[in-house]
Structure 1
Amino acid sequence: MVWNFVNGKNQILLCCVAKIIICWLMNERYQNNKALPFLGKCKLNYLLKPLKKEYPFLKNSDSSSLQVVNEFLTQSWKNFFQDKTGQIGKPRFHSRKYLKKSYTGYVKTSKTGVLQNTKIKRYTVLLEPTGKYYLSLQVEISEPEKYSLTGKRVGIDVGVADLAILSNELKYPSFDSSYFEKKAKVWQRKYARRRHLAKLLVLQDRNKKVLCPRSLESFTNWQKAQKSKAKCQAKAANQRRDYLHKLTTHLVKQYDVIAIEDLKTKNLQKNHHLAKSIANASWRMFRQMLEYKCEWYGKKLIAVDPKNTSRICS
């Protein structure tokens, strides 16, 4: 595990290259589906050995991470083939601007039983835009203990100024991220300016045909500004998530039945006057947390049609 952290960047790059190769192979088979059959997870794993002979650098990667790539890719193709609604698109390559750099592998150690009543299945090493590495573990645990019943019911109306307005007139405000947003905007301007100046200097060296022209990566000021901007955004995201966790846990403990509006957040964000406020309130994350916590702790969540929910009857 320590070796993976030390060589985390190389492992992530190798894993991304492996994804590209295997995705290209699957796309070729999809385009020629009459001549070539679709490959499942096991068959893709058999192809890893000849692929390593053809591309020797794949031998430097963790073998379990390549198997996980095959599993994720196979599952995404299955979701695409089995979807009848047309909402799931064909798997495609990640954009070069995709900032989430991670790889997943299996844990092979005798220490997996250290945690009581827990079995560690996989680990994921993630490189954040802030430059920090994080390790997340996928574990198998027993069902959590149910919360005691209180006999209370409540309806929740979500809003922008107040995140949750309860039917018993209690209000919970939205998370205020204005401080971090201002700092992120300042660093965003610095980042854009420094990167633009670096590009001009690179073009100047290229036009003058300098013996040792500078590359964009040799200018570190814009990279420092990017990390500072990412740190401000990460702080706001972490504090917002912490606030929502505390609020949803409190609500699930207090009430046995919770009714909430079945809002389509994606459609509501098309309103450019409210899109930023809705995104900051994190309605979707709030509902998702309520859903799985109610399922975990033996409570009930009801999604109600939002039509006329905010109107007071005569």
Structure 2
Amino acid sequence: MIVYEFKIKGKDKQYRAIDDAIRTSQFIQNKALRYWMDNKNAGRYDLNKYCAVLANEFPFADELNSMARQSAAERAWSAISRFDNNCKKKVKGRKGYPKFKKNCRSVEYKTSGWKLSQTRKAITFSDKKGIGSLKLKGTYDLNYYEIKQIKRVRLVRRADGYYAQFAIDVNVRVETQPSGQVVGIDLGLKYFIADNKGNVEQSPQFYRKSEKQLNRANRKKSKKYDPKKKKAKKPQSTNYHKARNRYARKHLRVSRQRKEYCKRVAYSVIQSNDLVAYEDLNVKGLVRNRHLAKSISDIGWSTFRSWLEYFGHKYGKVTVAVPPHNTSQNCSNCGQKVKKSLSTRTHVCPYCGYTEDRDVNAAINILKLGLSTVGHTGTYVWGDLPSWAIGANLSSNGESLNQESQWL
């Protein structure tokens, strides 16, 4: 499954219709979740049947395509099933009880409700929302694929406009020649990655470099906010919404920079090696450190890992996630544990005299652990499905983990 994204061009009336469709999809998703809360034995197909009940009860819900309503119910069921699986597996901490959505940014159609033009440069939506025909702006060519291969079409709203995503059912496996190389990767804050051969990749720190501009845009937005209007339940001024949009676009630019950087590095690592061993970091737990939370969020470890696993599957390379416990403390030469603080950047073993950079020493230990477990890795460390397999169902924020750039 791959995802092609196009920017769509239309009139203001069509954009308002897309917003209406997104609100309707959010309404159906929340209603389906409420139905499950009131009926604990309700299953996936019960939620799909409940969509027809909502269409008969609410005229604006009937305006949305029937498969788009089912897709909204499937999003609710995705959150429910994830919660059930966490409870069955006895995951530590909060189990992720499903929550009602407040700010959805996408609506998803399946195989009906839309039609591509003969040139595949425009798409027409035929439901009663009045979206109509929209032009597709992008470098991808949909003529390479049959219409039946397009399983889902999503309309996504972002700070800089509206986008259409096409989830295409295609085999992404590519045969490559073995390189005969293996690598262990240590993820860090000083270096983005460091491998067992001593090669390091500097951390780009996109958020840190743009922080002044972001803070300035945030201050301008705050100056235009009127708390009296909120108490009186009146809408904010047009200038406030313009400033809010400028602030959101700057954040969107930073997130895109981080994503493309992680994608390029992951692609380079996979192309150069046949086996990649990396740390199975608990990023959700690490960001609770209030001293390092900003730096950890800026580095993009989870994004890098997602692309590493996806490209590993695509090009037939082995990716192994190993436990990170004591990989920085143990000596890679003799195996003895040498305790050191985060500020100590050089590993000096008092037992054997081995000296190496802290991150490189950890990368060597990670590679050893990866080679020792590669023969019996039966399940993926993130659950029943690897992260690259997430694509047929899109989360309500409109993001997709396997959307490739043109040059890849």
Q: TM-score, normalised by structure 1?
A: 0.83
177, 189, 207: which one aligns with 1:160: 189
Equivalent residue letter for 2:96: G
Partner Cα separation in structure 2 for residue 168 and residue 49 of structure 1: 60
**Match runs of 1:1-80 below 5 Å:** 7-30=17-40, 37-41=41-45, 43-80=46-83
> Are 1:236 and 2:254 matched, yes or no?
yes
- Secondary structure of the residue aligned to 1:298 is coil
Specify the alignment match of 2:97 in structure 1: 90
| 3-state SS, counterpart of residue 244 of structure 1 | helix
8 Å contact kept, 1:183–1:229:
no
Aligned to 2:227: 199
Question: Matched residue pairs, number?
Answer: 291
* 1:169 matched to 2:175: no
Amino acid at match of 2:108: T
Aligned-residue offset at 1:64: 1.8
Q: Does 1:277 align with 2:295?
A: yes
Partner residue, 1:122: 152
Aligned sequence identity (%): 24
Higher relative CO (Cα under 8 Å, sequence separation at least 6) belongs to 2
Tell whether 2:196 aligns with 1:186: no
Question: Equivalents in 2 of 1:54, 1:72: separation in Å?
Answer: 21
Q: How does 1:296-307 map to 2 (within 5 A)?
A: 296-307=314-325
Between structures 1 and 2, the one with greater helix share: 1
Q: Secondary structure of the residue that 1:11 maps to in structure 2?
A: helix
8 Å Cα contact 1:181/1:233 also seen in 2 = no
Question: How far apart are 1:49 and its partner, in Å?
Answer: 3.4
- Report if aligned partners of 2:283, 2:302 keep a CA contact under 8 Å in 1: yes
Deviation at 1:110, TM superposition (A): 6.6
In the alignment, which of 266, 278, 281 is matched to residue 263 of structure 1?
281
Residues 156 and 260 of structure 1 are in contact (CA less than 8 Å); yes or no, is this contact kept in structure 2? yes
> How much does 1:63 deviate?
2.1
When residues 226 and 305 of structure 1 are mapped into structure 2, their CA distance, relative to the original with a 3 A threshold, is same
After superposition, residues 105-144 of structure 1 pair within 5 angstroms as 105-108=109-112, 109=115, 114-116=143-145, 119-128=149-158, 130-144=159-173
| Paired residue type of 1:91 | P
Deviations 1:261-297 (A, max 9, x none): 2222222222222111111111121122112211221
Any gaps of 5 or more consecutive residues in structure 2?
1-7, 121-141, 334-351, 353-408
- Runs of 4+ in structure 1 deviating by more than 4 angstroms, as ranges, are 1-6, 110-113
Q: Secondary structure at the match of 1:165?
A: strand
1:162, 1:174 within 8 Å by CA — same for their partners in 2?
A: yes
Q: How far apart are 1:68 and its partner, in Å?
A: 0.8
Partner of 1:245: 263
Q: What RMSD over aligned residues (CA atoms) do the two structures have, in Å?
A: 2.6
Q: 1:310 to 1:117 in 2, by over 3 A?
A: farther
Query: Equivalent residue for 1:209?
Result: none
Given the superposition, is the C-alpha separation of residues 163 and 114 from structure 1 closer, same or farther in structure 2, using an over 3 Å criterion?
same
Does the 8 Å CA contact 1:162/1:172 hold for their aligned counterparts?
A: yes
Q: 1:45 to 1:200 in 2, by over 3 A?
A: closer
1:66 CA displacement: 0.3
Structure 1, residues 160-199: CA drift from partner, whole Å, max 9, x if none?
121011111111111231332221111112212211xx22
TM-fit CA distance, 1:131: 4.9
- Counterparts of 1:201-240 in structure 2 under 5 Å? 215-217=234-236, 219-240=237-258
Can you list the C-alpha shifts for 1:124-168, whole angstroms capped at 9, x where unaligned? 11111x151111111100232122211011111111121011111
Q: Identify if the C-alpha distance between structure 1 residues 78 and 277 changes in structure 2 by more than 3 Å, giving closer, same or farther.
A: closer
Name stretches of at least 5 consecutive residues in structure 1 with no aligned partner.
Answer: 31-36, 207-213
- Corresponding residue SS for 1:258: strand
Do the aligned partners of 1:117 and 1:141 also contact (CA within 8 Å) in 2?
A: no
Deviates more, 1:2-11 or 1:102-111: 2-11
Partners of 1:155 and 1:202 lie apart in 2 by: 53
- Residue type matched to 2:201 in 1? Y
Mapped partners of 1:82, 1:309: distance in 2: 30
What is the letter of the counterpart of residue 92 of structure 1?
K
Q: Provide the residue aligned with 1:287 in structure 2.
A: 305
